[in-house]
A and B are shown apart, each in its own frame.
Chain A
């Protein structure tokens, strides 16, 4: 049933955001730390497990795929409800600070190298075998 898929998605989101809040509290931060990311990992694991067990019929999947497909329209609605006027009101300092930050970040991306192959950049540490990552390594 379609609702099973939607409910699975909703459950992952609620548990993930709650975990993000708890993680934030443990770190002493008044903000959610990675709640959405934790929810995504939950959905990847639970969805994958159920798929392997053949417990994800097409109708259940369609409950998740609908929201996946609604992603871009939701982002457009989000763009239309941003406080663009206030952002431009901040004046030159705000615009320059944002611009310098974004440009610098874009320029750094290629330094990470395209894949595992060694790059001539000195500041890049030798790529070690990737360790299993969990949301914990913050700090």
Chain B
């Protein structure tokens, strides 16, 4: 009997994921309400629970998709994958007024460039502090700190070794996870409560998953603004890191 239930859950994986996430969110909102008096947003707790489960799945299976690597929870990979995530992010834009975006347009663009350079410099500085001196490794780790997609792109184009590329991906993943966790905590202190600051935030942070989850746990109304600028970040990073930023690193070291 139990086997047939498990077999059914594995076969109907996406539907099983809907049920699982629904249950996890119900419990998270209950915890938020009863244990924290609503001070910690229910979705913030749900995202933390998700990350903790992903860690468990990762060490349990050795795979790269967190809890989704356990066949019983494979549907999570589809539900939380790029396709449905992008569809849902785009849907949040419905009803947004264009003038709100235009007003923050210039600040958003400045935030994008500043964000890429800031994260890159942070990555290079930390790598330097740990004893890396060759421009290729420094650039690759810096690029990975921009986002975990830019790291491999830059690393491949300037010829970094695979362990450095793996390290750069790890730095980008940490950044994205930290944005998810820290955004709801920091929001009040940095004035992240209006469309304009959300667009600046998206441009500075740039990690789409981090920004998407961080804003969801802060105020879902801000999601479309942050996501709008964040979506240009990886492309900009992939453009700057192996070219201008690499040349700058090479000139300095």
Contacts and interface: CB of A to CB of B under 8 A. Distances in A.
Contacts of B106: 128, 130-131, 133
A26 to B, nearest CB: 11
B84 interface: yes
Interface stretch (B31-39, B93-101, B245-253): B93-101
Interface string A15-32: 011001001100111111
A101 B145 contact: yes
A132 B174 contact: no
Contacts of A115: 196
Contacts, number: 339
A52 interface: no
Nearest to A38: B231
Interface in B11-70: 17-18, 21-22, 24-25, 43, 46-51, 53-55, 57-59, 64-68
A65 B238 CA distance: 33
Nearest to B74: A81
A23 B235 contact: yes
Contacts of A68: 88, 91-92, 94
Interface residues of A, number: 85
B204 A9 contact: no
A83 B58 contact: yes
Interface residues of B, number: 117
Given A81-B81, A93-B171, A106-B182, A34 B231 contact: yes
Given A44-B93, A86-B173, A93-B167, A71 B220 contact: yes
Interface string A38-59: 0111011101100000000000
Given A34-B232, A36-B208, A76-B43, A138 B239 contact: yes
Among all A-B residue pairs, the 6 with the closest Cβ atoms: A90-B170, A85-B58, A133-B105, A98-B174, A33-B235, A77-B80
Interface of B: 17-18, 21-22, 24-25, 43, 46-51, 53-55, 57-59, 64-68, 73, 76-77, 79-81, 84-98, 101-112, 114-115, 118-119, 122-123, 125-127, 130, 141, 144-145, 149-150, 153, 166-167, 169-180, 182, 186, 190-192, 194, 196-197, 200-201, 204-205, 208-209, 212-213, 216, 220, 223-224, 227-229, 231-232, 234-236, 238-239
Interface of A: 9-10, 12-13, 16-17, 20, 23-24, 27-37, 39-41, 43-45, 47-48, 61, 64-68, 70-102, 104-106, 108-110, 112, 114-115, 128, 130-133, 135, 137-139
